[in-house]
Amino acid sequence: MSLAIQIEQISKTFGSLKAVDDVSLELQQGSLCGFLGPNGAGKSTTIRMIMSIISPDRGVLRVLGGSALDNKDRIGYLPEERGLYRKMRVGEFLAYIARLKGVHPTGLQQRIHDWLERVQLPGVAKKRCEELSKGMQQKVQLLSALVHRPDLLILDEPYSGLDPLNSRLITELIRDEQRRGATIIFSTHQMHTAEALCDRVLLINKGKKVLDADLSQLRAQHDGRGIIVEPSGDPTAYANAALAAGFAARAASTQKGLVEIELREGIGGNDALTAALAAGACRSVSLRRLSLEDVFVQLVGGSVAALQSEGGSADV
Do the beta carbons of residue 283 and residue 231 sit within 8 Å?
yes
Identify the residue among 104, 133, 256, 281 touching other proteins (CB under 8 A): 104
Do the beta carbons of residue 18 and residue 56 sit within 8 Å?
no
Identify the residue among 40, 66, 107, 268 touching other proteins (CB under 8 A): 107
Residues 6+ apart with CB under 8 A from 76: 101, 145, 146, 148, 150, 152, 153, 154, 182
Query: β-strands 259-263, 183-187: how paired?
Result: unpaired
- Considering only residues 77-96, where is the footprint of other proteins by CB under 8 A? 77, 79, 81-88, 96
**Closest separation between CB of residue 80 and other proteins, Å?**
8
Confirm or reject binding of residue 106 to other proteins (CB under 8 A): yes
Identify the residue among 97, 169, 245, 273 touching other proteins (CB under 8 A): 97
Nearer Cβ to other proteins (62/149): 149
Do the beta carbons of residue 85 and residue 93 sit within 8 Å?
yes
Residue 282: closest CA among 239, 247, 251, 250 = 239
Nearer Cβ to other proteins (93/247): 93
**Interhelix angle 269-279/235-245, nearest 10 degrees:** 120
Confirm or reject binding of residue 28 to other proteins (CB under 8 A): no
Stretch touching other proteins by CB under 8 A, among 107-115, 237-245, 287-295, 298-306? 107-115
Nearer Cβ to other proteins (47/211): 47
Confirm or reject binding of residue 143 to other proteins (CB under 8 A): no
Confirm or reject binding of residue 16 to other proteins (CB under 8 A): no
- Considering only residues 55-74, where is the footprint of other proteins by CB under 8 A? 55, 57, 69, 72-74
Confirm or reject binding of residue 43 to other proteins (CB under 8 A): no
Confirm or reject binding of residue 161 to other proteins (CB under 8 A): no
Confirm or reject binding of residue 54 to other proteins (CB under 8 A): yes
Identify the residue among 20, 42, 94, 101 touching other proteins (CB under 8 A): 101
Count of positions on this chain that bind other proteins (CB under 8 A): 43
Confirm or reject binding of residue 39 to other proteins (CB under 8 A): no
Confirm or reject binding of residue 128 to other proteins (CB under 8 A): no
- Considering only residues 165-184, where is the footprint of other proteins by CB under 8 A? 180
Contacts to other proteins by CB under 8 A: 48, 51, 53-55, 57, 69, 72-75, 77, 79, 81-88, 96-97, 99-104, 106-107, 110-111, 114-115, 117-118, 141, 144, 148-149, 151, 180
